[in-house]
Chains A and B, each alone.
Chain A
Amino acid sequence: MKSKTFVQVWRWGLLITLIVLWEAGSRTGFIDPFFFSSPTQIFRTAVVKWQSGQLPGDIAYTASSTLLGFILGTITGSVLGLMFWFSRPIAMVAEPWLIVLNALPKLALAPVLVILTGIGFTSKVILAFLMTVVVAAMSAYGGVQTVDPALQTLLVSLGATRFQTFCRLVVPSAMPSIITGLRVNIALAMAGSIVGEFIASDRGLGRMIVYAGTIFDLPLVWVGVTVLSIVSVVMYAGVVLLERILLRAT
């Protein structure tokens, strides 16, 4: 219990120290306020943007494209990876493809996707989807490979059908791998959405950062970066909660 309090105190203490040092450095001229702004200036800018309604709209836009891409990519990839259990030959054919697709820099496809699907919401969702689907498939396939053959033998000896073995053994066995992939994937989905907004967009936190940069409104850039960090932490916390629910359910 004591060590938990110690960890919490240090975590928050470090954050507060960083903010205080940032503010002090900016006010004393130790760091250039033009480039690095200051926490109070960032807060003031954020309040103005929030009251104008722009910031909530951009947060909702980026968060929803991230979440949609994450959900679609994770479900599609996980189902694909799990399905490889039904056919070892298909899995062996698909495995090198997955590895190549995983290594492929999907973000490099962003300009093509924007041209294909426009500057709207769809291109951001597709990028987030592409960023997550392969990782999810590889995580699920990795989980499938950890299924204990002796447990499989047991279920067959009990007269379980292949589908029953899949539902009762393969999916729960692969769940820890799938869950581990979720934490990686939420960050990847956000990177996909943001890069999509960087390339071309009329809304979103990514577009806000790029726009602020072009007009040298660096406090607004820092607002974008700070808000993105907060949204990332909230989504990560959501994934951790989802993990707990899934682990309890299995």
Chain B
Amino acid sequence: MPDLPYLTVDGVSKHFGAGDHAVAALDTVSFSLERGKFLSILGPSGCGKTTLFNIIAGLIPPDQGTVTLNGHSLVMNPGLTGYMLQRDLLLPWRTIADNITLPRTLKGVKPSAALQDASDDIRACGLEGMLRRKPDELSGGQRQRAALVRTFQTGKELLLMDEPFGALDPITRLHLQQLLMRLCLTKGLTVLFVTHDVDEALLLSDEVLVMGSSPGRIVARYTLPQEKPRSLPTLALPALTAMKADILTLLDEEDVDDEK
């Protein structure tokens, strides 16, 4: 028997501006996600992916619709999800240890205890020797790994990841994708993942949503047939190559529609 929906986004709409200058960012977006699943969202630039994430993270309110996590409303209720952005957003004046433990210390946990709690994730991400360094002493990949550990320290089961590896070189990105996949499976996390990279979505996800723009809406949903963890060669399997072709065609059509 399948799990009940863990995350439910129901009829979410959002406009920016007013009157003649109003821009529809999202139009009645609805979907649900089971606990422990990895859902990637693909779509052209400006299709409202980040707006949708900000609504789910409780940072901005929707004009209409509801967002619930395990039955509790997330609307304007920040701090209930882990949020990771494309930029690592490490505080430059703090050490990596201080940055990693920030979500816990904000809750009043002592830094030493928070660091002890994070030790498994620190080890898994290979950051043991870098804890006393400042962010500007680390490479882009190391910084993003630190941001990943910090996101895990929120202790939230739902993670929102907005193109977290978008700014990295292909090799570092692949390492981090494998790391994320492994840690998510181990921890049983539920992840919403925004990406522009179809291969990345197919490698990591249980399901893929394709969004269209002007206004932002869901145009297709795919469930991936292959078991996880996957590797790059898996992407060459006929089922996934067909899915990739389908998604690319859809994205291409959306881009063309957007330009009209």
A residues apposed to B, CB below 8 Å = 148, 150-151, 153-160, 164, 168-169, 172, 175, 250
Contacts and interface: CB of A to CB of B under 8 A. Distances in A.
Given A157-B59, A158-B106, A159-B106, A150 B87 contact: yes
B168 interface: no
Nearest to B102: A158
Interface string B73-108: 000001111010101010101000000001100110
A154 B160 CA distance: 12
B195 interface: no
Given A159-B78, A160-B79, 4 more contacts: A153-B59, A156-B79, A158-B154, A159-B106
Interface of B: 54, 57-59, 78-81, 83, 85, 87, 89, 91, 93, 102-103, 106-107, 154
A168 B89 CA distance: 13
If over half of A's interface residues share one DSSP class (helix, strand or loop), that class is named, otherwise mixed; here it is helix
If over half of B's interface residues share one DSSP class (helix, strand or loop), that class is named, otherwise mixed; here it is loop
A64 B89 CA distance: 43
Contact of B78 (A148, A157, A169, A175): A157
Contacts of A250: 93
A169 B106 CA distance: 12
A150 B162 CA distance: 12
A172 B93 contact: yes
Nearest to B94: A172
Contacts of B81: 157
A164 B106 contact: yes
Contacts of A164: 106
A154 B83 contact: yes
A169 B93 CA distance: 10
A250 B93 CA distance: 6
Contacts of A155: 106
Contacts of B54: 153
A4 B115 CA distance: 41
A150 B91 CA distance: 11
B89 A154 contact: yes
Nearest to A247: B93
B87 A169 contact: no
A172 to B, nearest CB: 5
22 contacts: A150-B85, A150-B87, A150-B89, A151-B89, A151-B91, A153-B54, A153-B59, A153-B85, A154-B85, A154-B89, A156-B78, A157-B58, A157-B83, A158-B83, A158-B106, A159-B80, A159-B103, A159-B107, A160-B106, A164-B106, A168-B91, A168-B102
A70 B37 CA distance: 59
A206 B154 CA distance: 59
Nearest to A148: B89
Nearest to A153: B59
A192 to B, nearest CB: 32
A169 B90 CA distance: 11
Nearest to B153: A158
Contact of B57 (A150, A151, A157, A172): A157
Across the A-B interface, give the 4 residue pairs with the lowest CB-CB distance, nearest first: A159-B79, A157-B83, A250-B93, A154-B89
A56 B33 CA distance: 77
B79 A158 contact: yes
Contacts of B83: 154, 157-158
Nearest to B81: A157
Nearest to A249: B93
A159 B59 CA distance: 10
Contacts of A151: 89, 91
A41 B206 CA distance: 88
A159 B58 CA distance: 10
Contacts of B87: 150
B54, B80, B89: residue with the most chain A Cβ atoms closer than 10 Å: B89
A155 B78 CA distance: 10
Contacts of A156: 59, 78-79
Contacts of B154: 158
B54, B59, B91: residue with the most chain A Cβ atoms closer than 10 Å: B91
A6 to B, nearest CB: 29
Contacts of A168: 91, 102, 106
A74 to B, nearest CB: 20
A157 B59 CA distance: 7
A1 to B, nearest CB: 23
A154, A157, A158, A175: residue with the most chain B Cβ atoms closer than 10 Å: A157
